[in-house]
Amino acid sequence: MAAATDHRPVQKTTPFTDRGARHKKSKKKKVSIPDNWADVPKMGSRVASSRFVALRVPLDDKYTHLTPSRERWTPAIFVQDQASMGYNIRLVIDLTNTSKYYEGETEFAESPIEYAKLRIEGFKSAPRLHDVEQFAAIVDDFVSRVPDGNIAVHCTHGLNRTGFLIVSYLVERCDFTLQEALQAFSDARPPGLIKHMYIEELYRRFAPGETPMLPELPGWAAAKYGARAH
């Protein structure tokens, strides 16, 4: 499909919950690195034949003094690294349920990378059907306009919310089986989608009747999720 002359701006999906959030900044919160952020790789490879690349959330300059140089991962470093690796990222989809880590519209303004915000809560339950539909709509819109660019997706760690939505898209739009999609994501973004209740929900949606194949949790994740893994 033909690309539009101007690829900007992409649809920016901001749920209604954002409206009040902007007026609740009377107190400054202490800046801290997300738990286990450094336990996962900065960025994965392209997921199979898709356009997706998963990564952990970049942290802007206010986090620099807290980050060892080898782990530093700012939006600017992401832009440089993806270019040097030949990923040709043209869209970032940010799934974090906050704007405290970086301001995407500002950080990517001088680059050819578009930015879309889709706030998804990550602790209590798997992404809702509506979340999956919104994600697919953002991706479909981009693909229809930009025939040769790839899509970076991140939540906090780039594993669970990210994996759930990418896997759902691969099954619904790209004719992957659920097992093929889970394996493709795991291969490209180790250790893959590891939150058991997310995997169980994917089986309920896409492979009812099959027994979920649940991965062994890495040490840091076992400590983080514990009983919540289910």
Are 83 and 97 contacting, i.e. CB atoms less than 8 angstroms apart? Answer: no
- Exposed e or buried b per residue across 177-195, where buried means at least 16 C-beta atoms within 10 angstroms of its C-beta: ebeebbbbbbebbebbbbb
Residue 22: its pLDDT value, please?
45
Res 28: pLDDT: 62
Residue 30: predicted pLDDT:
86
List all residues 6 or more positions away from 123 whose beta carbon is below 8 Å from its beta carbon: 228
How confident is the model at residue 18, as a pLDDT?
A: 45
pLDDT values of the chain reduced to their tens digit, one per residue, 230 residues? 444 444 444 444 444 344 344 444 445 678 999 999 999 999 999 999 999 999 999 999 999 999 999 999 999 999 999 999 999 999 999 999 999 999 999 999 999 999 999 999 988 899 999 999 999 999 999 999 999 999 999 999 999 999 999 999 999 999 999 999 999 999 999 999 999 999 999 999 999 999 999 998 888 888 776 544 44
Q: DSSP code of 216?
A: P
DSSP code for 226? G
pLDDT at 189: 98
How far apart are the C-alpha atoms of 150 and 113, rounded to whole Å?
A: 10
Helix (H), strand (E) at residue 116: strand 114-117
Q: Residue 171 and residue 36: Cα distance in Å, rounded?
A: 29
For residue 137, the Cα-to-chain-centroid distance in whole angstroms is 15
Cβ–Cβ < 8 Å for 147, 182:
no
The order of strands in the sheet holding 89-94 is 43-46, 52-55, 150-154, 89-94, 114-117
DSSP string computed for 131-154: HHHHHHHHHHHHHHH-TT-EEEEE
| pLDDT reported for residue 195 | 95
Bridge partner residues of 219 (DSSP)? none
Per-residue confidence (pLDDT) for residue 122, from 0 to 100: 85
Structural domains of the chain sorted by starting position, each given as residue range(s) with its CATH number in brackets: 34-229 (3.90.190.10)
pLDDT value for 9: 47
Query: Which pLDDT belongs to residue 226?
Result: 56
Whole-angstrom distance, CA of residue 161 vs CA of residue 10: 21
